[in-house]
């Protein structure tokens, strides 16, 4: 059984379909789904928490994506702190730094990311990090603001092995998506080859990054199996071993 460690199934792309999506995932061998808040606006957090309360095998995280860091003020932080106390919230995030799109100024992204790192420390929850083209700064903030007391995962990891090593040295897990199934992703597959399975998650990032053979269609948690199968092929392992170890990794970090 697999866990989709990062999905946005509370989004409008799945309106009225949540139960069917969850049932298809279960039929594909996906035992649990982490509904990740923070993509778009505050409603993604409240909806993730509501979905987790509705379905036994769904858990939630709360945070704000770095794209939207410019919209995070004291009121939003207070609301998220309160949501973080919900029984099935397992992490703070997603949060982090995205210097590829630059939808929020870098200094604002850094400030808000630091605030979420502190929230994770204060709540005792792990942190789910989005990082793109900002690995050195993200690792420095996690190291310095986390003060050695922080656990977490870098979701949708797409960097090189140097960046991977920096996060692994901090004790973080790395999560891989359908990108590793893409024809032009050989450099990332080489990173998968080098990262220990014991430090690895699989995810869909639904509705985005749909793996081959469904690329071009809406992604959903059932398709995390294709990510796990690709990891197994890259590392010359059985799918059952990849499923067992990555599932245990997610359960260890999120305490589920």
Please tell me the total count of domains within the chain.
1
Residues in the chain: 256
Range of the domain at 189: 2-254
31, burial (CB in 10 Å: exposed 0-12, middle 13-18, buried 19+): middle
Nearest in space to 170 (alpha carbons), one of 127, 116, 110:
127
Q: Are 225 and 240 in contact (CB under 8 A)?
A: no
pLDDT digits (tens, 9 = 90+) for 8-29: 999 999 999 999 999 999 999 9
What is the pTM (predicted TM-score) of this model?
Answer: 0.97
Identify each DSSP E strand in the chain by its residue range.
2-7, 30-36, 58-62, 89-98, 127-132, 152-154, 173-176, 200-202
Q: CA–CA separation, 68 vs 66, rounded Å?
A: 5
Give the bridge partners for 59, in sequence order.
34
Which of residues 228 and 149 earns the better pLDDT score? 228
Cα dihedral 147, 116, 138, 111, rounded to 10, equals -100
pLDDT digits (tens, 9 = 90+) for 30-85: 999 999 999 878 999 999 999 999 999 999 999 999 999 999 999 999 999 999 99
For residue 41, the model assigns a pLDDT of: 85
Q: In what order do the strands lie in the sheet with 89-98?
A: 2-7, 30-36, 58-62, 89-98, 127-132, 152-154, 173-176, 200-202
CATH number of the domain enclosing 69: 3.20.20.140
């Amino acid at each position: 059984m697999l866990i989709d460690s990062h999905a946005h199934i509370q989004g409008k792309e799945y309106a009225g379909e949540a139960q069917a999506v969850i049932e298809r995932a279960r039929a594909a061998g996906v035992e649990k789904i982490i509904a990740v808040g923070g993509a778009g606006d505050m409603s993604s957090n409240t909806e993730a928490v509501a979905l987790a309360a509705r379905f036994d095998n769904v858990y939630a995280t709360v945070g704000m994506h770095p794209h939207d860091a410019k919209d995070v003020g004291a009121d939003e932080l207070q609301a998220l702190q309160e949501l973080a106390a919900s029984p099935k919230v397992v992490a703070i995030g997603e949060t982090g730094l995205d210097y590829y799109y630059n939808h929020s100024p870098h200094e604002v992204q850094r400030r808000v990311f630091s605030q979420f790192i502190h929230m994770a420390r204060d709540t005792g929850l792990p942190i789910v990090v989005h990082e793109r083209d900002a690995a050195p700064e993200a690792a420095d903030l996690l190291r310095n603001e986390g003060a050695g007391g922080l656990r977490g995962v870098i979701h949708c990891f797409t960097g090189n092995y140097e960046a991977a090593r920096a996060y692994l040295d901090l004790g973080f897990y790395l999560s891989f998506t359908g990108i590793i199934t893409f024809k032009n992703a050989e450099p990332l597959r080489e990173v998968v080859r080098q990262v220990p399975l014991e430090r690895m998650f699989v995810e869909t990032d639904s509705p985005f990054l749909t793996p081959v053979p469904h690329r071009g269609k809406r992604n959903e948690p059932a398709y995390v199996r294709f990510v796990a199968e690709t990891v197994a092929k890259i590392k010359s392992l059985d799918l059952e071993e990849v499923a067992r170890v990555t599932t245990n990794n997610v359960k260890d970090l999120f305490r589920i």
